[in-house]
Amino acid sequence: MHRTPCSLLALGACALVIGCSPSKPSAGSATGSLTESSAPRIYVTNELSGDLSVIDSATRQVIITVPLGKRPRGIHASPDHKSLYVALSGSPIAGPGVDETTLPPPDKTADGIGVFDVAQNKLLRIIPGGSDPENFDISKDGRQLFISNEDTSSVSIVDIASGTVLKTVKVGGEPEGVKVTPDGKQVFITSEEDGTISVLDPAEGRIVASFKVGHRPRSIALTQDGSRAYVNAENDGTVVLVDAIRHKVLKAIVLGKPGVIKPMAVLLSPDGSRLFVSTGRGQQVYNIDTATNAVVGAVTVGKRPWGIALSPDSKTLYSANGPSNDVSEIDLARNRVSHSIKAGNGPWGIVVLGR
């Protein structure tokens, strides 16, 4: 770690007597240098501190903290797991009880998608991502991003190599969740404001369908065959099962009292047998058996869990807990939190990658 210079005579006593302090990292540089194991890495976007925590899952310690930019939220790995992409936004944080007229104007220069190199633990560049990007998904060939632009009610199609916005398409109000179908032929985008899913044909660059799914959908999980989708309905306290081919609701799975249990992220296990759901202020992560679509367990985690991710062996689930500034490690066999891991300020998104 670089430190401010002291005189040669005082060099040995500099840190103890004078108290030299670390210099501020430049954009894309990293802090931290703990010994690393060969275990999977946990990558956490910290919305408030504007950085990425890289955590060794064996030691449960932050190996490195990498500055990213303003409000890093959605995070996803490239198909080859060599890169991570992170949504960055210069729009001020608004929320329940906040008078939006008192907020500063958006800093549009801060909007973009950060491209992070996994091998180097380094932010390589920031490419355009449309206005106020919040979340996104990646095309099956790894060449394009489909990005929700919350403040303009649109989705941007971005070419990664050139860093070019190819097209911007209007969708429902306050889009957030984005999911590419397994065959890559459609992209589902949630609309928090309208309670709908917009279906994008990426080849034609147009919306081909739109349908209702519940109040304030934010996240989508698709089965491997693309026939079914699970969508959270935050204000209903439910997860909605959808026929992803016919674009219609099949069933609402009740998790708890609306307004108390607020489903946020949904995540299917690789074999599709389990659906995991974080619940924000509900402070729970639910486990649903997809054969019966019944809740089989719930675990209390840190405050306001948002993003969730599975370990490569699917034995452990991690939740990013915003106000707790930590990550909960859930032992799925025992259905309990085994550890709490400190992260940065305001954890939002999370990805786990093997070494």
Please tell me the predicted confidence (pLDDT) of residue 18: 33
Number of other residues whose CB lies within 10 A of the CB of residue 15 = 12
Indicate the pLDDT class of residue 102, thresholds 50, 70 and 90. confident
User: 234 φ, ψ to 5°?
Assistant: -55, -50
Q: Report long-range pairs for 23-28 (Cβ below 8 Å, ≥24 apart).
A: 25/67, 26/67, 27/67, 27/69, 27/123, 28/66, 28/67, 28/122, 28/123, 28/124
Q: pLDDT tens digits, residue range 127-169?
A: 999 999 999 999 999 999 999 999 999 999 999 999 999 999 9
Number of other residues whose CB lies within 10 A of the CB of residue 208 = 11
Indicate the pLDDT class of residue 25, thresholds 50, 70 and 90. very low
Q: pLDDT tens digits, residue range 186-214?
A: 999 999 999 999 999 999 999 999 999 99
Please tell me the predicted confidence (pLDDT) of residue 337: 98
Indicate the pLDDT class of residue 261, thresholds 50, 70 and 90. very high
Please tell me the predicted confidence (pLDDT) of residue 247: 97
Residue 316 predicted with pLDDT over 60:
yes
Q: Which helix (H) or strand (E) holds 298?
A: strand 294-300
Q: Enter the DSSP assignment of 16.
A: I
CB 232 within 8 A of CB 268: no
What is the residue-wise DSSP string for 182-247?
A: TTSS-EEEEETTTTEEEEEETTTTEEEEEEE--SS---EEE-TTSSEEEEEEGGGTEEEEEETTTT
Residue 73 predicted with pLDDT over 80:
yes
Please tell me the predicted confidence (pLDDT) of residue 101: 73
pTM of the predicted protein model: 0.90
4-8, 28-32, 299-303 — which is least confidently predicted?
4-8
Compute the mean pLDDT over every residue in the chain, rounded to the nearest whole number.
91
